[in-house]
Amino acid sequence: MKLGFSWRVLVFIAPALLIYATFSALPLIDTLRLGLYTADDTGARSFAGLANYTTILSDPQWSTSFWNAMANNLKFFAIHMLVQNPVGLLLAALLSLRNVRFAATYRTVFFLPTLLSVVIIGFVWQLILSPLWGVSERLLSLVGLGDWFAPWLGLESSALITVSLMSVWQYIGVPMMLIYAALIAIPEDIIEAAVVEGASPWRIFWQIRLPLILPTLGLVTILTFVANFNAFDLIYTVKGAVAGPNYSTDILGTLFYRTFFGYQSQVASPTMGAAVATLMFLVILVGVAIYFLAVQRKLQRFAM
């Protein structure tokens, strides 16, 4: 029995609606609006149309740093898609095999880094990769790869990859858990039937289990996308707001922070910051829209 509207509904919904609207939804809309304004030296704001966006996208200095951050962010996302999600899938597939001993222990430990603060993870890896301490060099020598070591975090060519892999290491638990949950939800009889037919475990995985968990892989992809294009903490912790060396680890989140708060010679600008945030919003919105329109429609598993 569903009830119609009454004043009670208001009492139930109002507190959540009020807080969510005031501190999440309206600030977001207001940010979109602020991106259309500029402020003069006194701080007075005036409507400027798309001027901020023209600056970001066409001013040589601005557009270089924006597209640099965008490209880095895409690489950051690509590394997550190529390493985090496949390894997460592999671990989940192994854990969901029948009668794997200690499966619960493995699961618990694999998820542990995800729970730790990015700040902790950042510093822990910074210490481990530090040439001063030399732990990684020593570990690599144990397997005969000592010469291979380089101060990866400090090199322009490898800093972004290193930071991305740190993030992969931390968050691998999320795809693993989601995929694992989907795998164990596959009805036993389907697998049984395939086993009886004589299908190998390899074939069962590729032709039965994988197609059945495609919706979850779609979900994992969009979650990774949103999280990556909104990332900030790890890079700020490890490389600071300037995202060095030479902006090689700068992503949209750090660019947003610097634009909003200023750094070194650049003046803080809330309106420019709002414009950068709006661009991030558009990127995320496009990703989410593609997911819902293309992926979800095909997979038909959206249950809201």
Partner 1 sequence: MANTSTSTSLPFAPSRVFVHLTLISYLLLALLPILLVFMNSFKSRDAFFNDPLAWPTPETFSLIGYTKVLGRSDVLMYFGNSFIVTIASLFFILLFGAMAAWGLSEYRFKGNRWLKFFFAFGIMVPIRLGTVSILQLMVELNLVNTLTALVLVYVAQGLPLAIMILSEFMGQVPGELKDAARCDGIDEFRIFFQVVVPLIRPAIATVAVFTMVPIWNDLWFPLILAPSDKTQTITLGIQQFVGQYATDWNAVLASLSLAIVPVVTLYALFSRQLIRGITAGAVK
Could you say whether residue 196 binds partner 1 (CB under 8 A)? yes
Among 71, 184, 190, 290, interactor with partner 1 by CB under 8 A: 184
Structure tokens at 268: 């803080």
Could you say whether residue 190 binds partner 1 (CB under 8 A)? no
- Of the candidates 258, 91, 220, 245, the one whose C-alpha atom is nearest the C-alpha of residue 162 is 245
Nearer of residues 195 and 293 to partner 1, judged by Cβ = 195
Among 64, 108, 207, 246, interactor with partner 1 by CB under 8 A: 108
Nearer of residues 157 and 293 to partner 1, judged by Cβ = 293
* Cα gap 105→2, rounded to integer Å: 44
- Of the candidates 40, 25, 69, the one whose C-alpha atom is nearest the C-alpha of residue 269 is 40
Only segment of 78-86, 150-158, 226-234, 242-250 that touches partner 1 (CB under 8 A): 226-234
Nearer of residues 103 and 155 to partner 1, judged by Cβ = 103
Among 82, 134, 203, 246, interactor with partner 1 by CB under 8 A: 134
Among 163, 178, 243, 255, interactor with partner 1 by CB under 8 A: 178
Among 56, 69, 79, 280, interactor with partner 1 by CB under 8 A: 280
Could you say whether residue 50 binds partner 1 (CB under 8 A)? no
Could you say whether residue 143 binds partner 1 (CB under 8 A)? no
The DSSP secondary structure of 55-76, one letter per residue, reads HHHHSHHHHHHHHHHHHHHHHH
CA atoms in the 13 A half-sphere facing the CB of 268: 6
The DSSP secondary structure of 74-106, one letter per residue, reads HHHHHHIIIIIHHHHHHHHHHHTSTT-TTHHHH
Pairing of strands 45-47, 37-39: antiparallel
Nearer of residues 145 and 157 to partner 1, judged by Cβ = 145
Among 109, 190, 290, 294, interactor with partner 1 by CB under 8 A: 109
Could you say whether residue 25 binds partner 1 (CB under 8 A)? yes
Among 5, 42, 46, 264, interactor with partner 1 by CB under 8 A: 5
**Are 245 and 159 spatial neighbours (Cβ–Cβ below 8 Å)?**
yes
Among 24, 42, 61, 264, interactor with partner 1 by CB under 8 A: 24
**Are 116 and 129 spatial neighbours (Cβ–Cβ below 8 Å)?**
no
